[in-house]
Amino acid sequence: MSSLTPDELAREFDGFMTRGGLTIPPGRRATVLASYADFRAQIDLLHGRQDHTGEPAHIFATSRDGDA
Amino acid sequence: MDTRDLSIAEMGRALRSGATTSVQLTQDALERVKAQDDKLHAFVLVTEDLALAQAARADAELKAGSDRGAFHGIPYALKDIYDTAGIRTTCHSKLRLDNVPPHNSVVAGKFDAAGAVLLGKLATHEFALGGPSFDLPFPPARNPWNTDHVTGGSSSGSATAIASRMVRMAMGSDTGGSIRGPAAWCGLVGIKPTYGRVSRRGVFPLSWALDHCGPLSRSVEDSVLTLQLLAGHDPYDVASVEMPVPDYSADLNKGVKGLRIGIPRDFFIGASATTHDTLAGIDRTAAQLREAGAVVEDVKLPDYALFGAAGRVIMMAEAYAIHEADLQNRLLDFGEITANRFVLGATVRSADYLAALRVRRELTDAVTEALRRYDALLCLSALNTAPRFDAPVDALSSGAPMQTIPFNVTGHPAMSVPVGLGADGLPVGVQVVGRAFDEAMVFRVGRAIEVLSGWEGVALPA
């Protein structure tokens, strides 16, 4: 699961919506936020699984997302 | 003659022997639609005049000795995301209510050329994702086994139309399980062929990397005949692969003696939604396959959660790319469930999408490796039987009950086959997975399960 607090998760979500030019009706916000929390946890599962040994073309990230 | 339970092959024989006509088959089917669809809502459009004209032409051609093959004169229907020339194609959405495509999808064109009879266009979850919903231009299709229960989606109307005997075969599409899920929950056969096997040109996309076209049908044989017609290379579908198409009927009834079948039991054994009925269904199937001479043993695959995560991230990113402009400008014209799901795609970063593609390769390699040791894999199609409309589960959540998305991620052919009824009287399905482009083996194992389970003797809802 994401280490973000619910407030941080909500701010992150709002940032994505703003950047995408999307307006979520207030009455739907809680439902969509709950889905986002679950979706964000699924996204997190995908990161940090590959290093150079898994990249025969030597195209790989040198650090995990969020690392310096 | 009573035509409602005739298979495609039986209808074909009856047409050629003169025992029935295509017009009769079509009128019978239209009568069944008229009698039931007010409560089941399988169709969003019935093309009665066209169907009767196509049927009359098929009869005339057959009478004149011109035979176009297995589908000549056979009624069928299309999920309403398949373009049909001059016939409204809505994606079950307010956004495309006036869409009348000028051209057929490749699939519709193949049925046309084969002399098949189009009964109409079928309900779907909006844009093959959002549903079941009550805020769309058409009501959601209902499960003929119990109309208080959902069909599963997104090929909801396809499943309803077949399970209620309106039609023997209908086309669906499958991006995360939209053929196999409704097939499982409505007691039908549904195959997602190998990625690239059937052209998707002219079918409204949900996710380019995961979309597949395929049939739902009453029996394995019906699906065999359908895929035989539809499989083949299309140079204008970038995913299409130029591979020989074998005779899918050749080994269909060879049984499973000597075959090796692996069960990725960890996929479902610890999942909270798994029920006694579905577990009993797959265990019973495994025992029947062993009794018939197959070697059946558990196999380890990567965590199910990884398959789900990779599939959903790819799907939502691509779906968002398709619908971005409408989500920005007409969000309230989508159904609420659809919009709530699609906007999640705006949260996928490029690093997330690429991570999903990398994991996809890892998972595909793992399944391919397992299928070097096994002729087929066997798993559940869904962890449970069809839930009620008032107890929905988000199909995109990590807790979704479908077990189908792994093989959209990897592209391997996978088919749901019914194996019995749960204590609630609703169908249970298992899933057979094969090597890439080896649909023939999937059909062979599926046919054996169909026979061994005794499903052919189970009566559909009246």
Q: Does B306 touch chain A (CB under 8 A)?
A: yes
Mean pLDDT of chain A: 84
pLDDT averaged over chain B?
97
A-B interface: how many C-beta pairs under 8 angstroms?
87
Residue A1 falls within a domain, yes or no?
no
For residue B340, give the nearest of A16, A28, A47 by CB distance.
A28
- Using alpha carbons, list the distances in angstroms from residue A18 to A38, B61, B338: 20, 60, 19
B397 at A interface, C-beta within 8 A? yes
Question: Do B331 and A17 touch, CB atoms closer than 8 A?
Answer: no
Q: Which residues of B touch A58 (CB under 8 A)?
A: none
| pLDDT tens figures, B325-373 | 999 999 999 999 999 999 999 999 999 999 999 999 999 999 999 999 9
pLDDT band for position B462 (cuts 50, 70, 90): confident
Q: Is the pLDDT of residue B320 over 70?
A: yes
Tokens linked to B408: 């959209």
State yes or no: pLDDT of B96 exceeds 70: yes
Determine the average pLDDT of the residues in B119-137. 96
For residue B99 the two structure tokens come to 């869409």
A50: contact with B, CB 8 A cutoff: yes
Give the residue on A whose Cα is nearest the Cα of B313: A43
How far, in Å, CA of B90 to CA of B246, rounded?
34
Asked if B359's CB is within 8 angstroms of A39's CB, the reply is: no
Contact B197, B96 (CB under 8 A): no
Contact between B175 and B407 (Cβ < 8 Å): no
Portion of chain B with pLDDT greater than 70, in percent: 100
- Tell me the residue range of the domain where A47 lies: 6-54
The whole-number pLDDT of residue B290 equals: 98
pLDDT at A68: 40
Is pLDDT at A65 greater than 60 in this prediction?
no
Contacts of B416 (CB under 8 A, 6+ apart): B179, B180, B181, B183, B184, B188, B189, B190, B191, B381, B404, B429, B430, B431
Helix, strand or coil, per DSSP, at residue B82 = strand
Which are the catalytic amino acids of B? Answer: 79, 154, 178
Concatenated DSSP letters of B360-408: HHHHHHHHHHHHHH-SEEEEESBSSSPPBTTS---TTSTT--B--THHH
Residue type, B333: D
Q: How confident is the model over B409-425, as a mean pLDDT?
A: 98
> How sure is the predictor about A58, in pLDDT bands with cuts at 50, 70 and 90?
low
Q: Are B15 and B73 in contact (CB under 8 A)?
A: yes
- Give the pLDDT score at A2: 65
Q: Is residue A68 part of a domain?
A: no
Q: In terms of C-beta density within 10 A (0-12 exposed, 13-18 middle, 19 or more buried), how is residue B351 classed?
A: middle
Write phi, then psi, for A20 (nearest 5 degrees): -80, -5
Eight-class DSSP state of B130 = B
How many domains does one find in chain A? 1
Confidence of residue B199 (pLDDT cuts 50, 70, 90): very high
Contact of A57 with chain B, judged by CB distance below 8 Å, is answered with no
Find the distance separating the first CA and the last CA of chain A, reported in whole Å. Answer: 21
| pLDDT, average across residues B401-414 | 97
Predicted ipTM?
Answer: 0.93
Write out chain A residues lying below 8 Å of B336, CB-based.
28
Nearest to B405 by CA among B307, B268, B274, B302: B307
A16 is a domain residue = yes
Q: Are β-strands B43-46 and B117-122 bridged in parallel, bridged antiparallel, or unpaired?
A: antiparallel
Residues 6+ apart with CB under 8 A from B314: B207, B209, B210, B353, B356, B357, B360, B409
> Rounded distance, CA B429 to CA B321, Å?
33
DSSP string, B252-312: TTS--TT-EEEE-GGGTTT-TT--HHHHHHHHHHHHHHHHTT-EEEE---S-HHHHHHHHH
Residue A59 lies in a domain: no
**How far is the C-alpha of B441 from the C-alpha of B447, rounded, in Å?**
10
Residue A67 has pLDDT above 50, yes or no: no
Note the pLDDT of residue B49.
98
> Higher pLDDT residue, B213 or B270?
B213
Domain boundaries, chain B: 8-230, 260-456
Query: Mean pLDDT across the stretch B422-436?
Result: 98
Which residues on B lie below 8 Å from A32 (Cβ)?
Answer: 340, 343-344
Contacts of B67 (CB under 8 A, 6+ apart): B16, B61
Cα separation, B141 vs B147, in Å, equals 9
pLDDT digit string, tens, across residues B11-70: 999 999 999 999 999 999 999 999 999 999 999 999 999 999 999 999 999 999 999 999
Residue B164 has pLDDT above 60, yes or no: yes
DSSP B199: -
Select the residue of B308, B340, B397 nearest A32 (Cβ to Cβ): B340
Facing residue for B355 by CB, picked from A40, A41, A47: A47
Neighbours of B1 (CB within 10 A): 9
CATH of the domain spanning B8-230: 3.90.1300.10
CATH assignment, B260-456:
3.90.1300.10
- Cβ atoms B396, A35 nearer than 8 A: yes
pLDDT band at A61 (very low <50, low <70, confident <90, very high): low
Distance of alpha carbon B84 from alpha carbon B71, whole angstroms: 18
d(CA B149, CA B133): 13
A39, B352: Cβ pair inside 8 Å?
A: no
With H, G, I as helix, E, B as strand and everything else as coil, classify residue B189.
Answer: strand
Structure-block tokens of residue B288: 């029947």
Rounded to an integer, the average pLDDT of A9-24 is 97
Q: Does A23 touch chain B (CB under 8 A)?
A: yes
What is the nearest CA distance from A66 to chain B, expressed in angstroms? Answer: 11
Residues forming a β-bridge with B130: B126
Beta carbons of B346 and A43 less than 8 Å apart: no
Q: Are B167 and B161 within 8 A, CB to CB? A: yes
Contact between A19 and B346 using a beta-carbon 8 Å cutoff: yes
Q: Which two tokens stand for residue B128?
A: 């093959």
Instruction: Burial-class residue B241 by CB neighbours within 10 Å (0-12, 13-18, 19+).
Output: middle
DSSP, collapsed to helix, strand or coil, labels residue B430 as: strand
Closest CA to A42 of B130, B93, B310: B310
- Closest residue in chain B to residue A19, using alpha carbons only: B346
Q: Determine the pLDDT at residue B443.
A: 98
Q: Which residues pair with B82 in a beta bridge?
A: B203
